[in-house]
């Protein structure tokens, strides 16, 4: 317990992101899905990190420095917080892909996704989410290499250093592989545990704009990474991160604001057919002027 508390005190930013992920995942997908995904993703990530520090697969060969042993939890030669980070990065990336792939609905300030099981399980969502997770690492990993300049500390080094600000290209290929595996695990767990008429335990369907919380977490992680790069006087890497995300941000704004992206009554009905426990939410009740059109479209 002392070591766990010391780990949290040493890496508070990691556990802030972790706590945010747990809350967001539970209110959107339920308690069982969240806990099982967290455990399985941590296991996959730890196995891949253990393999990489021993034989270089899948991230490339790197070595952890034992500077923080006794101050934070280590598991099989890997800092606990490092493998744990994959859980909230994978989840946040998946929610962004789901946001960009689903029709949307807004009633006042309440913003909702009209996702369906077909969309949640779609290969495009899976592959996009894995790519979005790699994009985060293209900001975070060069920052981690410079850990001695900020409160992360010097905890590892690549053997040999790679061409992307010290990070080897194999690292990003490995991240895509692990992201694809872990996000695929999430899609499988979600469908296995949540596909039914009953509301998953812990989920809060009526929560205001809950579908935006995951993308906000993603944006927060990216903003933290880019901000830290400028704060530690690494502007070349910081601007690289900015230019990675500028076109992505522009494309996201375009998709979210175009008229064709907003769902009609038929899209609402498809969503409610897959998630019937949401049917009685006040947000779906059409205004009196729209009732006739709504009933005709859903008849």
Please determine, for residue 16, whether its predicted confidence score (pLDDT) is greater than 60: yes
Picking from 63, 92, 76, 60, the residue whose alpha carbon sits closest to that of residue 175 is 60
The answer to whether residue 292 sits within a structural domain is no
Instruction: Give the domain extent around 175.
Output: 2-264
For residues 82 and 156, what is the distance between their CA atoms, to the nearest angstrom?
11
Please determine, for residue 118, whether its predicted confidence score (pLDDT) is greater than 80: yes
The answer to whether residue 289 sits within a structural domain is no
Cβ–Cβ under 8 Å, residues 88 and 241:
no
Cβ–Cβ under 8 Å, residues 132 and 182:
no
The answer to whether residue 14 sits within a structural domain is yes
Q: How far apart are the first and last CA of the chain?
A: 58
The answer to whether residue 29 sits within a structural domain is yes
Please determine, for residue 178, whether its predicted confidence score (pLDDT) is greater than 70: yes
Q: Is the bond preceding residue 299 a cis peptide, omega within 30 degrees?
A: no
* DSSP-assigned beta bridge partners for residue 62: 158
Please determine, for residue 194, whether its predicted confidence score (pLDDT) is greater than 80: yes
Instruction: For residues 170-176, give the mean pLDDT.
Output: 97
**pLDDT value of residue 295:** 53
Please determine, for residue 294, whether its predicted confidence score (pLDDT) is greater than 50: no
Instruction: For residues 150-157, give the mean pLDDT.
Output: 89
Side-chain half-sphere exposure of 131, counting CA atoms within 13 A = 11
Write out pLDDT tens, residues 219-273: 999 999 999 999 999 999 999 999 999 999 999 999 998 888 888 889 999 999 9
The answer to whether residue 269 sits within a structural domain is no
Count of the separate structural domains present in the chain: 1
The answer to whether residue 192 sits within a structural domain is yes
**pLDDT value of residue 2:** 79
Please determine, for residue 293, whether its predicted confidence score (pLDDT) is greater than 80: no
The answer to whether residue 9 sits within a structural domain is yes
Structure tokens at 135: 């994009």
Instruction: For residues 67-75, give the mean pLDDT.
Output: 83
To the nearest whole percent, how much of the chain has pLDDT over 70? 95
pLDDT band at 296 (very low <50, low <70, confident <90, very high): low
The answer to whether residue 281 sits within a structural domain is no
């Amino acid at each position: 317990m002392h070591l766990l508390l010391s780990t949290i005190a040493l890496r508070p930013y990691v556990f802030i992101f972790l706590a945010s992920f747990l809350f967001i995942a539970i209110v959107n997908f339920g308690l069982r899905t969240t806990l099982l995904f967290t455990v399985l993703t941590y296991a996959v990530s730890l196995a891949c990190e253990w393999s990489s520090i021993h034989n270089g697969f899948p991230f490339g060969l790197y070595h952890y420095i034992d500077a923080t042993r006794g101050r934070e939890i280590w598991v099989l030669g890997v800092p606990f917080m490092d493998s744990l980070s994959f859980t909230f990065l994978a989840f946040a990336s998946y929610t962004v892909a789901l946001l960009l792939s689903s029709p949307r609905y807004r009633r006042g300030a309440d913003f909702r996704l009209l996702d369906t099981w077909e969309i949640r399980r779609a290969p495009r969502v899976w592959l996009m989410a894995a790519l979005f997770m790699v994009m985060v690492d293209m900001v975070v990993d060069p920052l981690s290499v410079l850990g001695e300049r900020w409160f992360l500390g010097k905890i590892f080094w690549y053997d040999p250093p790679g061409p992307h600000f010290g990070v080897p290209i194999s690292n990003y290929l490995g991240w895509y592989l692990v992201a694809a595996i872990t996000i695929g695990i999430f899609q499988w767990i979600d469908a296995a545990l949540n596909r039914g008429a009953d509301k998953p335990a812990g989920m809060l369907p009526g929560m205001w704009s809950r579908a935006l919380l995951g993308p906000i977490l993603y944006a927060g992680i990216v903003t933290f990474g880019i901000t830290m790069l400028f704060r530690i006087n690494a502007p070349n890497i910081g601007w690289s991160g900015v230019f990675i995300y500028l076109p992505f941000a522009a494309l996201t704004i375009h998709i979210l604001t175009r008229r064709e992206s907003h769902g009609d009554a038929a899209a609402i009905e498809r969503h409610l057919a897959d998630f019937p426990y949401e049917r009685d939410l006040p947000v779906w009740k059409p205004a009196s002027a729209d009732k006739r059109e709504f009933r005709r479209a859903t008849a």
